[in-house]
Amino acid sequence: MKHFFLALAILQLNPSFSQEPTKEQIREVADARKEVKRMKGEPFPDFSLTTINGDVVTSENTKGKILLVNFWFTRCRPCIMEMPEMNEMVEEFKDEEVLFIAPTFDDVEMVDKFLSKRDFSYEIVPDEKDFCLELNVRSYPTHFVINADGIIEKVVIGYSSATVSTLRKSVRKLLDSK
């Protein structure tokens, strides 16, 4: 199953693959996952992202807030499966200094079409293939929990029944330590 999701990530990022990914391509994605996991404890890179609503979210204007950044895409089954729980978490922390950001490499048209059928309460940021690649995100969903000082506290790659609980606990721990 793990290889299926790795293969899916490769296929989505490069539609020119018409066959199943090669072992080398799967290995590249696995290496990227390890690299992303090693980012824990490092500063989250500076960013300037424009949401689907036209708001600009930057590393500068989010200082002092806890960030939960969720890399996803519209055809990602695990991403879609976790959305109802993710929306509940947004509601739970709505009165706290927590910002939920969701970059995707999908374009605005594709995201709008998706959102017309499904709810996703994060600040959606379309057309961010470069940002995904800059962070070496190749598996979806990939979540970063970033503390108020801009340091990556937690990295969660993929979806399981424990994903949202893990993210919720990480956010709560950061809020309690403020």
Residue 35 lies in a domain: no
Residue 24 lies in a domain: no
Residue 164 lies in a domain: yes
Residue 117 lies in a domain: yes
CATH number at residue 126: 3.40.30.10
- Distance (Å, rounded) from C-alpha 147 to C-alpha 178? 10
Residue 29 lies in a domain: no
Using a CB cutoff of 8 Å and minimum separation of 24, what contacts does 38-42 make? 39/135, 39/144, 39/152, 39/155, 40/152, 40/153, 40/154, 40/155, 41/151, 41/152, 42/151, 42/152
Residue 14 lies in a domain: no
The range of the structural domain enclosing residue 119 comes to 40-176
| Total domains, the chain | 1
Residue 59 lies in a domain: yes
Residue 60 lies in a domain: yes
**pTM of the predicted model, to two decimals?**
0.83
pLDDT tens over the chain, length 178 residues: 444 444 444 444 444 344 676 777 666 666 656 666 777 889 999 999 999 999 999 999 999 999 999 999 999 999 999 999 999 999 999 999 999 999 999 999 999 999 999 999 999 999 999 999 899 898 899 999 999 999 999 999 889 999 999 999 999 999 999 7
